[in-house]
Amino acid sequence: MHPEALRGWTVSQSRLDRLSKLKKSVCGDMGRWRRSWHACSKENHLRIIDLQTHHVGRYLFVSVHTDAGISGLGEAGAWAYLDAVDAVLQKWRGYLIGQDAARIEHHWQYLYQSTFFRSSVVMSALAAVDVALWDIKGKDLGVPVYDLLGGRTRDRARSYAPVLGETPEEMAAECVRLQRAGFTAARLILPSFAHDHWERGAESYAHRVDQAVSQVLACREAVGPAFDLCVEAHRSLSVPEAIAVGRGIEPARPLFFEDPIAPDSPDAMAEVARAVPVPIATGERAISIHEIQDLLTRGAARYVRPDVCAVGGLTPARKIAAMAEAHYVSIAPHNPLGPVSTAASLHLDASVPNFLIQEHPSFNIDGSEDAMVKNPLRFEDGYIAVPDAPGIGVELAADAETAFPAAPRDLTPAFAFDGSVQVR
């Protein structure tokens, strides 16, 4: 208060003395609080003390431990090369131990920028660490990870399950089964995976095209219009085949046509996208935000499919979602992995406005892998509930490694009718 405003007031000396002491006390407390705050901020309040890897069934999980007793859980995406991913993680232990777990973006940039070489193996290792650090931060603050990414935009994520089969009749019957189980969408995998070595159809171009089209049309006839078909070519088609199939399945009104060709050339994917009346979905093999940007700027995809555990974690995945939003493109995250990948994907799905649909983990349709975690994710009526516990919401079961012995997937080559190796 200005001294002029006190003119005419009578204040006893004892009261002035008390006010003076109170001022000194408050100022002293504030000073001590500021010094304490700055001292704490300079220290690692969540110092990383260990990193452990867990080979569980088909998957590689990663635990990052801190001196606060808080641990985070991540998962690696390069499923064919998990031993190599493990080796990268062991190399990174020397850097990570002693670091502040809260500096997620800094650690991501450090591990990404520190060498000349990047690959799916390196990015999968980075994804595992990144998701684990987000898990730690959520637990430390007592909030789900989606709250750290902007807050929840939805309570549950629509999902779709895979349909395998040799014939149109087999695939149609499987669609009906999934529909009765509560799903409202299915992933129609056009090439058969019934054999150890995938053979890419007969030598006849017309036969290959007609077979793919008949599979999709049979499924539509079986389930009616109130069920979405996500057609997955699994990169099995050439550009001419993809264009012919894309035009042929248009009467079935698929939700999207996924990976009609190999994703290595965004220009070729854009050529297919321009030529077919069905929306193209791709991006699951991307290991950087720049690969997704190439697709977006070329108009090569109406939906992008970032794999959180392959592209480097939640840190780049949320950037991909933002880039896609700027192009009026939605995301349909890829998810062929375990419960940690699924949980991380759900937090991404929950926190962005341009989410379309979430791939249901193919190996856990029957719930046989639920026991890998203490608190399995909840599926109901075609949706997966978004975990609302602090962090990503799942914890590895204590006996996961013994209950699910390591069983990594091997190489799975694809051959054409003449014995030549084809795109997988």
Catalytic residues: 234, 334
409 Cβ contact partners less than 8 Å away, ≥ 6 residues apart? 58, 79, 80
CB 74 within 8 A of CB 131: yes
3-state secondary structure the chain: CCHHHHCCCCCCHHHHHHHHHHHHHHHHHHHHHHHHHHHHHHCCCCEEEEEEEEEECCEEEEEEEECCCCEEEEECCCHHHHHHHHHHHHHHHHHHCCCECCCHHHHHHHHHHCCCCCCHHHHHHHHHHHHHHHHHHHHHHCCEHHHHCCCCCCCEEEEEEEECCCCHHHHHHHHHHHHHCCCCEEEEECCCCCCCCEECCCCCHHHHHHHHHHHHHHHHHHHCCCCEEEEECCCCCCHHHHHHHHHHCHHHCCCEEECCCCCCCHHHHHHHHHHCCCCEEECCCCCCHHHHHHHHHCCCCCEECCCHHHHCCHHHHHHHHHHHHHCCCEECCCCCCCHHHHHHHHHHHHHCCCECCEECCHHHCCCCCHHHECCCCCEECCEEECCCCCECCCCECCCHHHHCCCCCCCCCCEECCCCCEECC
Is the separation of the CB atoms in 122 and 88 below 8 Å? yes
The residue assigned the tokens 């995250």 is 333
Strands 156-163 and 383-385 turn out to be: antiparallel
